[in-house]
Structure 1
Amino acid sequence: MQTSIIIATLFAAIAVAAPAPEVESRQVPYVACSGLYGTSQCCATDVLGVADLDCANPPSVPTDADNFSAVCSAIGQRARCCVLPVLGQDLLCQTPVGVQA
């Protein structure tokens, strides 16, 4: 009887000492734009901070702020978060958090 208790305790100790899964796999994915300014766009021209011209969706899904900037820079545009995209023109846009202006 005592042998089975010792073996059960040994197995429990081994289970507790096992390494945890990688933390990276549990990370929340990058969300470039949220809330009212929820549309991520790559835009060429900013008009007085009110409207942006020649805008389009990023060619690939951004993985972080630097990647968002790089994806838009690769096509000659800037990363922006906008309120209302209409036919390549976007109203009320701002620079995403973490992206250098």
Structure 2
Amino acid sequence: MQFTVLAIAAFTAFTSAAAIDKRAPSDVCPSIDTPQCCQLDVDGVVDATCASPGDVSTLDEFNAACAETGTTAMCCTIPLAGLGLLCAAP
């Protein structure tokens, strides 16, 4: 029983770490942040009308992808549906 619980916990930690690495390349945003293209920024606390820029691997690609939609490139710690919380410019 304990082995099963430990195995599930280890698997969850491993898959969560892999998702973070894939979601936020280190050359675009810090490791715990997610690249987002946002339209409205309220003092870096809440950003509205946010969407993923797609698969970007450089800062130039990130800025260009957001500029195509008239939005600003932001790195958000907590991305929610259409919102970003605790965001900062890359």
TM-score by length of 1: 0.58
- How far the C-alpha of 1:31 sits from its partner, in A, is 3.2
**Ranges in structure 1 where 5+ consecutive residues have no aligned partner:** 1-28, 97-101
Count of aligned pairs: 66
Contact kept, 8 Å, 2:27 with 2:59, in 1: the verdict is no
Give the number of the structure whose alpha-carbon radius of gyration is greater: 1
Q: 1:30 touches 1:64 (CA, 8 Å); kept in 2?
A: no
State whether structure 2 residue 73 is matched by structure 1 residue 75: no
Give unmatched runs, 5+ long, in structure 2: 1-24
Q: Aligned match of 1:47 in 23, 42, 50?
A: 42
Q: TM-score with structure 2 length normalisation?
A: 0.65
Give % identity: 42
Question: Of the candidates 26, 33, 58, which is equivalent to residue 29 of structure 2?
Answer: 33
